Amino acid sequence: MALELSLGISWQFGALAVISMLLFPHFRGRYAFVAAALAYSLVDIVPALFGIPGTVGLWTLTGALSWGLVGLLFTLQKPNGSPFTFAKLGIAGTLIFDAITGPILSPLVWGMPFWEALVGQIPFTAKHLMGIAAVSLILAPVLFPSVNRALSRKKWFVLKPSLSVS
């Protein structure tokens, strides 16, 4: 059983979202996709390594591909540390991820009727949005200066050429 934040998001998804918002805007496109897909996969794989059953499955693949698309979206944003930039990224990422993994993939992968998947996704996504908005407005801006400073010193080929905040 996953620990839940009082805001309705699991600690794993909350941590993944904050890390994604802080790091992925610094990546070049395809590298953000790979990093996002890998990060999402590890959220499922690491608990399985510790013997927690039911964490890895087809949802790992579909979630990783969906989060990879979100990572690509994040590369379009120039990191500036604004809480509203993080909220915009978090909300857009959540809507895209939940739309893909809920009403789009549930009928295709699990055979669930589209309307059931769509209606069932609404309260789930609403909880995600409230949690992500809070995390985006509070935690990400606090951590951003340190992350930006550390990444701006790096000259890795996977990072965008200029990371300085203007």
Q: What CATH number is given to the structural domain containing 55?
A: 1.10.1760
Domain count, the chain: 1
Lowest mean pLDDT among 55-59, 113-117, 152-156: 152-156
CA dihedral (67, 20, 160, 66) in degrees, to 10, reads 0
Average pLDDT rounded to a whole number, residues 49-69: 88
Asked whether residue 155 is domain-assigned, the answer is no
Asked whether residue 154 is domain-assigned, the answer is no
Average pLDDT rounded to a whole number, residues 40-61: 85
pTM of the entire predicted model: 0.81
- Statement: residue 13 has pLDDT above 60: yes
- Statement: residue 164 has pLDDT above 70: no
Looking at residue 107, its pLDDT comes to 92
Tell me how far the alpha carbon of residue 129 is from its chain's centroid.
12
- Statement: residue 165 has pLDDT above 60: no
Q: What's the one-letter identity of residue 5?
A: L
- Statement: residue 73 has pLDDT above 80: yes
Asked whether residue 73 is domain-assigned, the answer is yes
- Statement: residue 20 has pLDDT above 70: yes
pLDDT tens-digit series, residues 105-144: 989 988 999 999 999 999 989 988 888 888 888 888 899 9
Whether the CB-CB separation of 8 and 20 falls below 8 Å is answered with no
Q: Which domain holds residue 117?
A: 12-145
Asked whether residue 166 is domain-assigned, the answer is no
Asked whether residue 16 is domain-assigned, the answer is yes
Asked whether residue 63 is domain-assigned, the answer is yes
Looking at the chain, the whole-number percentage of residues with pLDDT higher than 70 is 89
Asked whether residue 48 is domain-assigned, the answer is yes
Q: What's the one-letter identity of residue 115?
A: W
Burial of 83 (0-12, 13-18, 19+ CB in 10 A): middle
Give 9's pLDDT tier (boundaries 50, 70, 90): low
